[in-house]
Structure 1
């Protein structure tokens, strides 16, 4: 069985051409240095080379090769968060750098940090700390500028070879040129009828020489073979060079060459396609068609034209379809250099502000939908959509905070994202944006009161209790001034949470009773639910009977609402009470269901707690190897989020289980199982846990499913969402959702993960 490959490198979509010397030199440098920086002008192929180096070096790094893309990030303070997010680490601590250093200290891996040039100083500070803390960490950075760090090895990247010059050498040498090979490969991919021949070789060679061997420029030119021959392409390039030479003087000749290639592609686009290219540069990351229709239509582009325009730009390689996205739900992205060119065109067009306003309007509406999505059936779907749009949300906040007049909009956005920050493990980043918005919009308002409570909520989980107290005091004054009793109730709830953390359950119960009155008066059922949950937690040791009643009431509310993420919270609370009672089978059922829900939002803290408790249940049932493995996995998950062991009051009662399991397995067997669990990724842990919990194949058989249900079950097994299944099968999303629900019901499963595990098991049996 081949060794498991760790990392997140994307699959190469096109062939890799040339660069043998650079690949060899990069491997040599990585063997002698822990920091290698690949430098060169835009479009020269730094990212592509780095990805190929990473792929070739995977065997040398047992803990994987991991890519972090920084192009869409403009805040140096968030680099550590971006790296942590790559590893799946949730930012529950105030210092993500410390958590990263702790996580990486025993890892032997390669970190590929792409597009560092605009954040050089911040990158250097972070990487210095990580390299010091993690002795087996290696870093491959790409940047137009040097990082200027101690021990940095440089890998300068020149354009592809274009030889010989005019009048020198023969056709054989020209055929061997890396640049010509790249052009021929990409041209054949764009126009299958294209062949490099003796008749067109001279023109192709002239194109590559005219473009100075810059890969991106050559690829953009090669795509034009769909409609033009090499002679025509060369003529267009000559026109573009003449235009640019007359308009711009000085600067790096290679940069002017890339601009020429961009300008050539730009001129071959229709005027409407040119406007669309410029407007698409507004997106900080990949984007969907719904967003494009909202942001890029208007002022000369009708919504009905958007799809065809995006497809047309994709045909010209101006936009790239994101791998794995299809149909109406397809997502697209632009290469960094292409987006930068479009941004410059947009800035000179006079349309930039209008497009930015539409971009803001679209993402503000997405955030606003959370007011109806939170504590409702579409809760998890909303969190998932926001997570996919996270970089665009950052861009919106940056835009608002850059203008004092728009700062109140940023304040409103961060306040409405309160539960998104928490559910998706973005506590530190949410606190950072909230503090910036509060500082930028200090004027008294009801929105400020709401934002103060939301920020305090996030900071409590980071342990910043002093800051929390002053924020809540100000929030209550403002809420009283503007007649907002729900915000006052939320402030009391936050104070109760602080009391629980500090071990003062009686004070917490008093505050929660007051909060409950406020939430009921405001008809805020989500607030009532949260208060019941917190009451169940606070009463666990001082009034358990009352706590059980609160937990059951919370369960009734969440079942009525159909809110998946919120249901995960109440299931874990009920599980704590069943666990304290010694009802291990009931406990396991509750935590298995909670685990499947927590996985849908990648809530690692909740996943870790579920896995730990399920280990206790396995030990109590005599499944000792499984118990030790789950405890090992839970320990790794705690390191991911920087959390303490789950439920300390209960865990004291289960010390005996660890002792019994150690004795049953012997010390060597226990440590071996523990180590296997620690080596598992979060996805592997969830699959292992729920697969073992799923019904056997004898109870769940394919015969129970219709042909369509079997087809959809297989797509679920491939990891497709309901939206993606609907697009693939050309059916309504509601129809796909109905099929999935019937599959779960027929097979007796509780989660999509169990369907995937069942499909895999059936394939293995076959």
Structure 2
């Protein structure tokens, strides 16, 4: 530690002495060059000559070969120097930054960029990185000087501290820039200024140093760029997960003797690090908590990381002793608008795009020009992350920062206005809204203003959740809104019942539908038609096809009374589905064709049209019209892609795959099935539909000769279908495998048919005929193994039913004799 004195000597005397020494001249040699006496030079350096003539100064400048700024500074007026401050160097340890270190060293050593700023949010590891850089450069023989500026508040002190670092300190009337320039001149050196973000006004003097010292490189660490000409930024992001886990393990071993990173504990540490956004300081502070908590306990207590992550080393800078202190220190440098916007962003937990942010901020009272300035301020400080999302930028707070933002927003008088603006914005842009933002909006509405949830909002929420396959969450949110007193409570319950039915929770669906009926207006024909449609589907799910047809007919009448042709089309579609379930495929076809025509006249959307076209394709496949089935399924897939419904599009592609398979186009079927499989990640918790896609895909795998893969996929698919809304396809899928197996193994085919019969006999819902009718397969088996033996193998297959359908089907399909 060194101290800069508070009382500097004569400026010219020191400056002359430094420049003379830098060029290697004695006082006598300098005197001879400029035509002065040696004593005159000596008196100037001693400071005894107070006011030399200007021509004397110019002669000295010529003799010292000073040019441009050096020359101007030599004859400039004197000024005073600042008060004493402390200068400290800080070492560090590096984990997981080898690539960044190499890039930083290359920038400094290459000399192409002489001002390099390492930026990133507080706690990201900037100081540790440059400390390692200093060690590396010194090992290479470079003269490296470092300054820790974290305790300095006055930008006017920076240059004098730099001068002290370069051994040009002491009492002086010469500016810090001039002393450093005189000391360095053409000498190669590297200057590291750590913690520059609060001293940005001094950046111009740093730039002047670099300009006048041609072999000086400066490395800054700062949460904000210095915005200098020629500045090169190196932005630090969070650590990769493996590096974060390694850092956690190192810190944990330092506080818990004997701690080791084992395969059992590694996933827990990885989860902790991800929860902390892999921020190095947060990881270190979390590791210190292992003095009290086991890793699993720690992982379960990170919902509010600011409260937990404190108690850092007492010899660490105050801003590094807790995560809260680090973030608050970063906020002190933000503008008033920046701090306001930071708090407002708590209303968008998943981050927000600029359009949405402008809309929310506009309602809350911040115009676009101020918003952009505040946003830039927060991004520059690393308080807000910029992430690419669907071709646009999203502005996101890391978890710990979001917690602090939430606290600050709760303390503001405009909190309700901001939350309301965000809720309205997200609910009216559900197609692009992120799930956490929707959840936050609904939570605020339930608690504060449920009256905003009208029928349009409830319907949009239903479509949002159904489209994404988030059936369980959707029904829970819609029921909660109804319970909170939303004006559209009846409609919300009705749509919740539909999601329950899709999720396979028939009892919940029945109860919610009953509650909805009590709240719906009996004169609201549209609502009544929708309710009867659901009642018809629920009856079909119970196997009561008569009641299903009756209730669906009531829906048809109500739809016509409402003049809603789309609802009429849906009712016709469902009447056709009931006919298919009953085995009357021929009767179902005209109903579906009429449904499609009505929907087209009504201008129904792509999803409604695509759904009916897909149903027609499935039906044509069942009546042995593979060509027609393929055409409808292909058209349905195109419509559903335009309508952005990946789950139904996957179903349409699977119908196309089966049609191609029936036509013997195995390669084409494989491509279609693969395309359907690529969409499975969009299925959410619609496990039954997910299973149906897999089970259909297993048929294509079987046809291509990959029997082990087919068995594995079939088991997974059937397991998901059992008890779900696609369980009526189980027997047809098994019969299709029997048809594919028959040419090579009639005994296995017969046993599979026996299992399919047991499924039909024991199913609470009708199992409609599929594209490979079992009669043909049985006839082939009878010709090959005889009628008597056939009956024995059918019984053998049926007897495997108690093992579970998925297990039994897998065993019979791969059984070898």
TM-score, L = length of structure 1? 0.51
Gap change, CA 1:270 and 1:615, over 3 Å in 2: same
What is aligned with 2:301?
Answer: 117
Instruction: Please say if residues 117 and 144 of structure 1, whose CA atoms lie closer than 8 Å, have aligned partners that are also in contact.
Output: no
Q: In the aligned structure 2, how far is the partner of 1:312 from the partner of 1:273?
A: 6
- Matched residue SS, 2:624: coil
What is aligned with 1:654?
Answer: 736
Which deviations, in whole Å up to 9, do the C-alpha atoms of 1:710-745 show, x marking residues without a partner? xxxxxxxxxxxxxxxxxxxxxxxxxxxxxxxxxxxx
Instruction: Please say if residues 337 and 371 of structure 2, whose CA atoms lie closer than 8 Å, have aligned partners that are also in contact.
Output: no
- Matched residue SS, 1:296: helix
1:343 paired residue among 403, 406, 411: 406
What is aligned with 2:552?
Answer: 512
Which deviations, in whole Å up to 9, do the C-alpha atoms of 1:53-92 show, x marking residues without a partner? 9xxxxxxxxxxxxxxxxxxxxxxxxxxxxxxxxxxxxxxx
What is aligned with 2:763?
Answer: none
Instruction: Please say if residues 497 and 513 of structure 2, whose CA atoms lie closer than 8 Å, have aligned partners that are also in contact.
Output: yes
What is aligned with 1:576?
Answer: 618
Instruction: Please say if residues 608 and 637 of structure 1, whose CA atoms lie closer than 8 Å, have aligned partners that are also in contact.
Output: yes
Gap change, CA 1:613 and 1:573, over 3 Å in 2: farther
Gap change, CA 1:471 and 1:527, over 3 Å in 2: same
Q: In the aligned structure 1, how far is the partner of 2:275 from the partner of 2:465?
A: 38
What is aligned with 1:529?
Answer: 569
Question: CA shift at 1:118, angstroms?
Answer: 6.2
Gap change, CA 1:655 and 1:52, over 3 Å in 2: farther
Gap change, CA 1:157 and 1:18, over 3 Å in 2: farther
- Matched residue SS, 1:322: strand
Which deviations, in whole Å up to 9, do the C-alpha atoms of 1:409-458 show, x marking residues without a partner? 3887445422332222122112212222232228xx6x222122112212
Instruction: Please say if residues 483 and 489 of structure 2, whose CA atoms lie closer than 8 Å, have aligned partners that are also in contact.
Output: no
* 1:472 matches 2:513: yes
Instruction: Please say if residues 575 and 587 of structure 1, whose CA atoms lie closer than 8 Å, have aligned partners that are also in contact.
Output: yes
Q: In the aligned structure 2, how far is the partner of 1:320 from the partner of 1:641?
A: 42
2:350 paired residue among 281, 285, 294: 285
Which deviations, in whole Å up to 9, do the C-alpha atoms of 1:232-263 show, x marking residues without a partner? xxxxxxxxxxxxxxxxxxxxxx34xx444333
Question: CA shift at 1:400, angstroms?
Answer: 1.9
What is aligned with 2:540?
Answer: 500
What does 1:354-373 align with in structure 2 at a 5 Å threshold? Answer: 354-367=417-430
- Matched residue SS, 2:453: helix
Gap change, CA 1:31 and 1:606, over 3 Å in 2: closer
Question: CA shift at 1:617, angstroms?
Answer: 6.3
Which deviations, in whole Å up to 9, do the C-alpha atoms of 1:184-237 show, x marking residues without a partner? xxxxxxxxxxxxxxxxxxxxxxxxx3246x3xxxxxxxxxxxxxxxxxxxxxxx
Which deviations, in whole Å up to 9, do the C-alpha atoms of 1:508-536 show, x marking residues without a partner? 11211110121122233432333232222
Instruction: Please say if residues 456 and 472 of structure 1, whose CA atoms lie closer than 8 Å, have aligned partners that are also in contact.
Output: yes
Question: CA shift at 1:312, angstroms?
Answer: 3.3
Which deviations, in whole Å up to 9, do the C-alpha atoms of 1:384-421 show, x marking residues without a partner? x24xx211111112112224x53673887445422332
Question: CA shift at 1:144, angstroms?
Answer: 6.7
Gap change, CA 1:36 and 1:648, over 3 Å in 2: closer
Gap change, CA 1:45 and 1:416, over 3 Å in 2: closer
Q: In the aligned structure 2, how far is the partner of 1:43 from the partner of 1:571?
A: 44
What does 1:553-702 align with in structure 2 at a 5 Å threshold? Answer: 553-556=594-597, 561=603, 563-584=605-626, 586-587=628-629, 590-591=632-633, 593=637, 594-595=649-650, 599=679, 602-603=682-683, 605-606=688-689, 608-613=691-696, 615-616=698-699, 623-625=704-706, 629=709, 632-633=712-713, 635-636=715-716, 643=724, 647-648=729-730, 650-651=732-733, 653-660=735-742, 663=745
Instruction: Please say if residues 46 and 157 of structure 1, whose CA atoms lie closer than 8 Å, have aligned partners that are also in contact.
Output: no
Question: CA shift at 1:636, angstroms?
Answer: 3.8
5+ unaligned residues in a row in structure 1: which ranges? 1-11, 54-110, 121-141, 146-155, 166-208, 215-253, 368-381, 668-766
Q: In the aligned structure 2, how far is the partner of 1:521 from the partner of 1:270?
A: 61
Gap change, CA 1:283 and 1:486, over 3 Å in 2: same
What is aligned with 1:435?
Answer: 479
Q: In the aligned structure 1, how far is the partner of 2:306 from the partner of 2:344?
A: 26
* 1:310 matches 2:375: yes
Which deviations, in whole Å up to 9, do the C-alpha atoms of 1:306-336 show, x marking residues without a partner? 344323321221111124655xx21121011
Q: In the aligned structure 2, how far is the partner of 1:579 from the partner of 1:539?
A: 15
Which deviations, in whole Å up to 9, do the C-alpha atoms of 1:258-304 show, x marking residues without a partner? 44433332232222222111111211212211221121224541135
Question: CA shift at 1:361, angstroms?
Answer: 1.6
- Matched residue SS, 2:395: strand
- Matched residue SS, 1:458: helix
Q: In the aligned structure 2, how far is the partner of 1:477 from the partner of 1:633?
A: 44
Q: In the aligned structure 1, how far is the partner of 2:382 from the partner of 2:390?
A: 17
What does 1:145-544 align with in structure 2 at a 5 Å threshold? Answer: 209-211=316-318, 214=320, 254-255=321-322, 258-323=323-388, 326=391, 329-367=392-430, 382=431, 385-386=432-433, 389-403=434-448, 406=450, 409=453, 413-441=457-485, 447-480=488-521, 483-540=523-580, 541-544=582-585
Instruction: Please say if residues 418 and 430 of structure 1, whose CA atoms lie closer than 8 Å, have aligned partners that are also in contact.
Output: yes
Say which is worse superposed, 460-469 or 294-303, in terms of deviation: 460-469
Instruction: Please say if residues 588 and 617 of structure 1, whose CA atoms lie closer than 8 Å, have aligned partners that are also in contact.
Output: no
Q: In the aligned structure 1, how far is the partner of 2:265 from the partner of 2:743?
A: 44
* 1:545 matches 2:616: no
Instruction: Please say if residues 277 and 398 of structure 2, whose CA atoms lie closer than 8 Å, have aligned partners that are also in contact.
Output: no
What is aligned with 1:5?
Answer: none
Instruction: Please say if residues 718 and 730 of structure 2, whose CA atoms lie closer than 8 Å, have aligned partners that are also in contact.
Output: no
5+ unaligned residues in a row in structure 2: which ranges? 1-235, 254-258, 285-294, 638-648, 654-675, 750-817
Q: In the aligned structure 2, how far is the partner of 1:450 from the partner of 1:635?
A: 38
Gap change, CA 1:606 and 1:307, over 3 Å in 2: farther
Q: In the aligned structure 1, how far is the partner of 2:608 from the partner of 2:388?
A: 32
Gap change, CA 1:45 and 1:474, over 3 Å in 2: closer
- Matched residue SS, 2:347: coil
Question: In angstroms, what is the RMSD of aligned CA positions?
Answer: 4.5
Which deviations, in whole Å up to 9, do the C-alpha atoms of 1:525-560 show, x marking residues without a partner? 432333232222111035322311222234445667
Q: In the aligned structure 2, how far is the partner of 1:609 from the partner of 1:114?
A: 40
What does 1:711-726 align with in structure 2 at a 5 Å threshold? Answer: none
Larger RCO: 1 or 2 (CA < 8 Å, sep 6+) = 1
Gap change, CA 1:299 and 1:364, over 3 Å in 2: closer
Instruction: Please say if residues 268 and 296 of structure 2, whose CA atoms lie closer than 8 Å, have aligned partners that are also in contact.
Output: no
Which deviations, in whole Å up to 9, do the C-alpha atoms of 1:340-386 show, x marking residues without a partner? 2222222233111110111122123235xxxxxxxxxxxxxx3xx24
Question: CA shift at 1:468, angstroms?
Answer: 3.6
Instruction: Please say if residues 273 and 313 of structure 1, whose CA atoms lie closer than 8 Å, have aligned partners that are also in contact.
Output: yes
Q: In the aligned structure 2, how far is the partner of 1:260 from the partner of 1:425?
A: 41
